[in-house]
Amino acid sequence: MIADYGFAAADIIHGVTSWRIWTRLGWQEIRRRYRRTVLGPLWFTFSLGIFIAGLAFVWAPLFHADLHTYLIFVTSGMISWTFVASVINEGCGTYTGAESLVKQLNFPLSILNWMLISRNVIILGHNLVIAVVVILALRLPITWIYLLIIPGIILVAINGVWMSMLLGMLSARYRDVPQLVANLLQVMMFVTPVFWFSSQLGNKSAIVDFNILYHIINVIRAPLLGEFPSPVSYLVDIGFAIFGWAVTFAVYARFRRRIAFWI
Contacts of residue 70, defined as CB under 8 A and 6 or more positions apart, other chains included, come to 56, 59, 60, 63
Residue 37: pLDDT band (50, 70, 90) is: low
CA-to-CA distance for 96 and 168, rounded, in angstroms? 8
Question: CA dist 256 to 129, 190, 231, Å?
Answer: 38, 35, 35
Torsions phi, psi for 108 (to 5 deg): -65, 115
Contacts of residue 247, defined as CB under 8 A and 6 or more positions apart, other chains included, come to 166
First to last CA, the chain: 18
CA-to-CA distance for 8 and 252, rounded, in angstroms? 6
Condensed to tens digits (0 to 9), the pLDDT of residues 136-148 reads 888 888 889 999 9
Torsions phi, psi for 94 (to 5 deg): -55, -50
Rounded average pLDDT over 42-51: 80
pLDDT at 253 over 80: yes
Res 2: pLDDT: 64
CA-to-CA distance for 130 and 189, rounded, in angstroms? 20
Taking the model in full, what pTM does it have? 0.89
Residue 149, amino acid: I
Res 69: pLDDT: 84
CA-to-CA distance for 182 and 188, rounded, in angstroms? 10
Contacts of residue 55, defined as CB under 8 A and 6 or more positions apart, other chains included, come to 74, 78, 195
Condensed to tens digits (0 to 9), the pLDDT of residues 77-127 reads 999 999 999 999 999 999 998 888 888 888 889 999 999 999 999 889 888
CB neighbours of residue 78 within 10 Å: 24
CA-to-CA distance for 51 and 39, rounded, in angstroms? 17
Condensed to tens digits (0 to 9), the pLDDT of residues 201-250 reads 666 667 777 889 999 999 999 999 888 988 999 999 999 999 999 999 99
Q: What is the DSSP string of 145-200?
A: GGGGHHHHHHHHHHHHHHHHHHHHHHHHH-TTHHHHHHHHHHHHHHHTTTSS-GGG
CA-to-CA distance for 168 and 90, rounded, in angstroms? 9
